[in-house]
Amino acid sequence: MPDTPEPTISWDRGSGTIRFIDQTLLPERCEVVSCGTVERLILAISRLEVRGAPALGVAGGMGVALAAGKCRAATRDAFLREVEGAAARIAATRPTAVNLSWGVNRVLARVTEAADPAEARRIAVMEAVTMAEEDRATCMRIGDNGVPLVPDGATILTHCNAGALACTEWGTALGVVRSAARAGKRVKVIACETRPLFQGSRLTAWELSRDGIDVTVIPDGSAAYLMRRGEIHLVLVGADRITRDAVFNKIGTYMHAVCARHHRIPFYVAAPRSTFDLRSGEDGVTIEERERSEVSRCGGRTLVPDEARVKNLAFDATPLSLVSAIITEEGVLRPPYRIGSPAST
């Protein structure tokens, strides 16, 4: 994002802390938080101050670096026990996006192979910073690989926020939009507001309008009818986890995929390889279920009577049979997908 003061998430070498944009405050305020403890990071992840699969991966890795930096255990064994405990707590904070545990495990692996705590602290920071740098380059490649799939003049429906705010910079699905715009294509984005936490209206609309990209916010329930009216040319979303048989993404994504198939509109997923989970099928994945109050209260008002139950699943699973293509940093995958086979690992 050209106007933001800094990347979505970064490591501050001077203070040994994580810096991130508090996304709960957008679009009213863009504030950067300095996070110096694992407990504060866990709170930030659970409150969605930091969110989006690739950003969670970087946050997980930096969280392990933070834990290593803070740990004063006397022996190498005690040091490893403490850092492993912190890593497990960070990874468990949000279960659906595989990037979080991927990021945690990547830095933890470097910590465990270090000769002593001092070396572990140094290597952990290096690895976490490398992850953030790689994430930016990965998003740029995803963006470039997706450009041929976007026709000039396209109106693109997106759901949730798979943009710079969900990564270090640039974005995955919105990275494709940005790259297409940079390549001179005229693109318009329809951002579903994405209830109940409004990542589409608060975040996607915020970052695209700052980039001068044409964006219109719609209530989630409008998407099918706009497809029927011919006002949407393709759907482009990110992913929290891609298994052998399904794409997990923000609740509501499946609905768009079904509608897109009905209206013969391409449904594209943009995601880095770190989002692929080659071991699991749809049934093996935990779908995060969040608090009642996210649905039952809004703007200081109660929207659901106390007697009524609320079901607040944060993600859904879209069968791969509904996905027209998956755009990765390594290229574009097309059906029949062989995710999990040696050729696609």
Show which residues are catalytic.
240
| Torsion angle defined by CA atoms of residues 22, 23, 27 and 31, in that order, rounded to the nearest 10 degrees | 10
Strand pairing class (246-250; 188-192): unpaired
Residue 239: helix, strand or coil by DSSP? coil
Q: Does 314 bind ligand MRU (CB under 6 A)?
A: yes
Q: Which stretch binds ligand MRU (CB under 6 A): 27-35, 76-84, 164-172, 316-324?
A: 164-172
Q: Does 97 bind ligand MRU (CB under 6 A)?
A: yes
Decide if 54 contacts 241 (C-beta within 8 A): no
- Choose the stretch contacting ligand MRU; rule: CB under 6 A; options: 84-92, 160-168, 223-231, 327-335: 160-168
Q: Which stretch binds ligand MRU (CB under 6 A): 108-116, 147-155, 217-225, 232-240?
A: 232-240
CB-based closest residue to ligand MRU: 238
CB of 314 to ligand MRU, least distance (A): 5
Q: Which of 95, 117, 196, 238 binds ligand MRU (CB under 6 A)?
A: 238
Our finding on whether 176 is near ligand MRU (CB under 6 A) is: no
102 to 141: interface string for ligand MRU, x by CB under 6 A: ----------------------------------------
Residue 149 engages ligand MRU in binding (rule: CB under 6 A): no
Q: Does 172 bind ligand MRU (CB under 6 A)?
A: yes
Whole-number CA gyration radius for the chain: 20
Q: State yes or no: residue 90 binds ligand MRU (CB under 6 A).
A: no
* Residue position matching structure tokens 């040091």: 79
Considering the rule CB under 6 A, would residue 250 count as an interface residue with ligand MRU? yes
Cα–Cα distance for residue pair 29/237, rounded to 1 Å: 25
DSSP annotation of 201: I
Binding to ligand MRU in span 53-72, by CB under 6 A: 53-54
**101 lines the binding site for ligand MRU (CB under 6 A):** no
Q: Does 160 interact with ligand MRU (rule: CB under 6 A)? A: yes
Stretch that binds ligand MRU, among 46-54, 84-92, 114-122, 227-235 (CB under 6 A): 46-54
Phi first, then psi: give them for residue 184, nearest 5 degrees: 95, 5
51 touching ligand MRU, by CB under 6 A: yes
Query: Nearest 5 degrees, angle CA 48-CA 140-CA 122?
Result: 65
How is residue 111 written in tokens? 């910590």
Collapsing DSSP states into helix, strand and coil, what is residue 343? helix
**Alpha helices, H only, the chain:** 38-46, 53-70, 76-91, 98-113, 117-146, 173-182, 205-210, 223-228, 253-262, 293-296
Residues that contact ligand MRU, how many (by CB under 6 A):
19
The letter for the amino acid at 292 is: R
DSSP, collapsed to helix, strand or coil, labels residue 276 as strand
Cβ-based nearer residue to ligand MRU, 199 or 328: 199
Cβ nearer to ligand MRU, comparing 167 with 317: 167
**264 conformational bin, left if phi > 0, alpha if psi -120 to 50, beta if neither:** left
193 HSE (CA, 13 A, CB side): 10
Q: Output the smallest distance, CB 39 to ligand MRU, in A.
A: 20
Q: Which listed range, 69-77, 214-222, 231-239, 304-312, lies at the site for ligand MRU (CB under 6 A)?
A: 231-239
Quickly tell me which residue has 């930030």 as its tokens: 44
7, 52, 57, 146: residue in contact with ligand MRU (rule CB under 6 A): 52
| Beta carbon nearer to ligand MRU, 153 or 331 | 331
Other CB atoms within 10 A of residue 319 CB: 13
Please give the biggest Cα pair distance in the chain. 67
Q: Which residues bind ligand MRU (CB under 6 A)?
A: 48, 51-54, 97, 160, 162, 166-167, 172, 199, 237-240, 249-250, 314
